[in-house]
Every structure is written in structure tokens, then in C-alpha cells.
């Protein structure tokens, strides 16, 4: 019997015990630059999982704090929420962002976040604050490495996308791509 099927990538068991404390995975600067080239965020911005300011550094006068301040207890409203949330709290972050954001939400999430019955029923079927756009990166960005000022990064094994919720949107979500190849490190960079 041929055992070639065993050679496939196994994303979950290969990373057992390697998850970073508090889901701290910094966003390469260029991933934020490429979002801001495609989306306008007018008004106030909250970045509730700012870590070392990898996203906040590029936003126009944001309010930001890290996870030691509990975003899930946030009472103030903002025009926009932009963040790379701790993935273990993504559902809660989306739900809370829909409560406190007046206009748009942009969350960097694994593309696989699109599936799941609970998400479908509670997040994606919501017509009052609908999912409007998904920007899928064409190459697998590596999150968690030290940030480089030039925005370059190594590739990893997970597909990421910016998920955009927009109160003004009606209709089905649009899928768009971000060609991030120019920011991927290779042996010559």
C-alpha cells in the first residue's frame, strides 16, 4: 500500500506546545500597510490588542491598549476597531467589536475562520453589521517573528486574511486578494 497520503502537512499537531503566551503574534507592518491601501477608516479607531504597536504605529491617532485591559468589558464607542486579536478569543472580539464600533471592523484572522456553525449563525448571518469584504493574502505570512522596519517577513503555514465588517454594506461579502509576494523574504533579501 502506498503511504504518500501521510506526507501532507498537519497544521494542528505539528504545533502542539508551541503556541505563544497570550496568543501574541505580531503583525508584519506591510500587512497593515496593504490593508490601509484598500480600506478607509474615518473617525476614531480602537486597537484593543496592540501588543508592541505593530498595527497602531500605522493608524491615525488610535486609542490602543493590550490584552491586560479587558476589551470584552469596553464601554466606549469608536468609529472603527482594527486589530489582530488573540485567536483563542476571536469570536468574543468580533462580538464585542460589533457592540462598540459605529462604522467598520477590521480583524486579521486565519482564513479558516470562515467556517463553523456558531460563527455562521452568530457572526456571518448578522445583517445589521455584516461581513463586507475578505482580503486574502496570496502567500502565507509568518506571524510572530521579530518585526522588520521594511515590512518583509518569512512565510509560514497558515493562510491569513483581513475580515472587514461594514455597517453600510448590503449584500454578500466580497472576496479580494492581497498580493503580498513583494514582502516575502527569500534568500536574496
For 183, residues 6+ apart whose C-beta sits below 8 A from its C-beta are 28, 30, 151, 152, 153
The predicted pLDDT at position 59 comes to: 96
Q: What is the DSSP letter of 114?
A: G
Among 97, 151, 153, which Cα is nearest to 129's?
97
pLDDT (tens digit per residue) in 48-76:
999 889 999 999 999 999 887 899 999 99
Q: Where are the alpha helices (DSSP H) in the chain?
A: 29-36, 90-100, 117-119
Q: DSSP code of 155? A: B
The pLDDT score that the predictor gives to residue 81 is 98
Q: Indicate the SS3 state at residue 136.
A: strand
Q: Which CATH architecture has domain 23-183?
A: 3-Layer(aba) Sandwich (3.40)
Q: What is the value of pTM for the model shown?
A: 0.85
How far is residue 21's CA from residue 174's CA, in Å, rounded to a whole number? 34
Identify the sign of the CA torsion 13, 16, 22, 26.
negative
Q: Let me know: does 161 contact 109? Beta carbons within 8 Å.
A: yes
What pLDDT score was predicted for residue 11?
35
Query: Which residues in the chain land under pLDDT 70?
Result: 1-24, 187-189
- pLDDT at res. 137: 95
Confidence (pLDDT) at 136: 97
- pLDDT, position 22: 53
pLDDT at position 5 is 34
Contact of 63 with 80, CB cutoff 8 Å: no
Whether 136 and 114 have beta carbons less than 8 Å apart is answered as: no
| Tens-digit pLDDT profile for residues 78-102 | 999 999 999 899 999 999 999 999 9
Q: What is the pLDDT of residue 23?
A: 58
pLDDT of 15 reads 41
Within the chain, strands assigned E span: 45-47, 63-64, 78-83, 101-110, 131-137, 160-166, 174-178
- Cell numbers given for 42: 474615518
Sheet of 45-47: strand order equals 63-64, 45-47, 78-83, 101-110, 160-166, 131-137, 174-178
Q: For 64, what's the count of Cα atoms within 13 Å in the CB-facing half-sphere?
A: 20
Amino acid at each position: 500500500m502506498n503511504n504518500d497520503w501521510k506526507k501532507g502537512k498537519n497544521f494542528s499537531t505539528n504545533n502542539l506546545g508551541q503556541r505563544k503566551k497570550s496568543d501574541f503574534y505580531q503583525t508584519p507592518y506591510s500587512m497593515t500597510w496593504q490593508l490601509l491601501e484598500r480600506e478607509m477608516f474615518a473617525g476614531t479607531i480602537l486597537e484593543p490588542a496592540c501588543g508592541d504597536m505593530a498595527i497602531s504605529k500605522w493608524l491615525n491617532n488610535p486609542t490602543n491598549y493590550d490584552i491586560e485591559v479587558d476589551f470584552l468589558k469596553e464601554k466606549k464607542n469608536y468609529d472603527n476597531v482594527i486589530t489582530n486579536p488573540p485567536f483563542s478569543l476571536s469570536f468574543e472580539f468580533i462580538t464585542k467589536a460589533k457592540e462598540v464600533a459605529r462604522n467598520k471592523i477590521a480583524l486579521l484572522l486565519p482564513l479558516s475562520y470562515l467556517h463553523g456553525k456558531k460563527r455562521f449563525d452568530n457572526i456571518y448571518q448578522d445583517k445589521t453589521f455584516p461581513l463586507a469584504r475578505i482580503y486574502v493574502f496570496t502567500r502565507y505570512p509568518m506571524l510572530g517573528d521579530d518585526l522588520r522596519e521594511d515590512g518583509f517577513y518569512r512565510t509560514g503555514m497558515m493562510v491569513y486574511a483581513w475580515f472587514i465588517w461594514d455597517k453600510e454594506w448590503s449584500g454578500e461579502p466580497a472576496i479580494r486578494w492581497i498580493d503580498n509576494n513583494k514582502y516575502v523574504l527569500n534568500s536574496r533579501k
